Structure 1
Amino acid sequence: MRAIITVIGKDMVGILAKVSTICAEYDVNVVEVTQSILQDLFAMIMMVDISKASIPFSELADRLTTVGQEMGLTIHTMHEDIFNSMHHV
């Protein structure tokens, strides 16, 4: 199973490191990352494999949201099933 993590906010040192460290802490494998810095704004989309995660998906999402708030960022985590449901006719 996979999930998508999006991060948006003011650019600063360590955003990618912080998010990927949390993923590693809970055995979530980062599969793909794309990021852009538009002037002083940071935007990142990260695809992760959550099939071997050591915590439930909801707890991972809550942890990332909390860290985002602490850093002044918006971090949203969406399960792959949401995408599949949205695009299934």
Structure 2
Amino acid sequence: MKSIVTVVGKDKVGIIAGVSAKLSELDLNVIDVSQTIMEDYFAMIMMVEALKETNIKEVRAVLKELGDNLGVTIHIQNEEIFNAMHKLNF
């Protein structure tokens, strides 16, 4: 299962390290990552892939707690759902 992880919040030291370490603990492999800092705000999007059977609700809860601790907002969505939500229809 591939998923998209987004992280947004005020920039500070340790965000990338904290998120990456937690994803590793959850057996989620980072396939691709893009991050930027706009003035004082940090934004990152990651594509991850589960290395084993994963309960997405539990992962969401763990990432929410991590986000609260880091002072950022972290979301995870199944790649197919993310793509469907961001598809432009003309």
- In structure 2, what is the Cα distance between the partners aligned to 1:7 and 1:84? 17
Q: Distance in 2 between matches of 1:84 and 1:37?
A: 24
Contact 1:9 1:42 in 2 (8 A): yes
Query: Match for residue 74 of structure 1?
Result: 73
TM-score, normalised by the number of residues in structure 1: 0.86
C-alpha distance in 2 between matches for 1:32 and 1:54: 20
Instruction: Using the TM superposition, give the Cα deviation of residue 19 of structure 1 relative to its aligned residue in structure 2, in angstroms.
Output: 0.6
Q: Which has the higher mean CA deviation after the structures are superposed, 36-45 or 78-87?
A: 78-87
Any stretches of 5+ residues in structure 2 without a counterpart?
A: none
Q: Is the 8 A contact 1:26 1:53 kept in 2?
A: no
Indicate if the aligned counterparts of 1:30 and 1:47 stay in contact, CA closer than 8 A: yes
Q: How does 1:52-63 map to 2 (within 5 A)?
A: 52-53=51-52, 55-63=54-62
Q: In structure 2, what is the Cα distance between the partners aligned to 1:48 and 1:61?
A: 13
The percentage of aligned residue pairs carrying the same residue is 46
- The CA RMSD measured in Å over matched residues stands at 1.8
Match of 1:39 in 2: 39
Q: Structure 1, unaligned stretches of length 5 or more?
A: none
SS at structure 2 position matched to 1:68? helix
Residue 28 to residue 38, structure 1, CA distance change in 2 (3 Å):
same
Which residue identity is paired with 1:49? E
Count of aligned pairs between the two proteins: 87
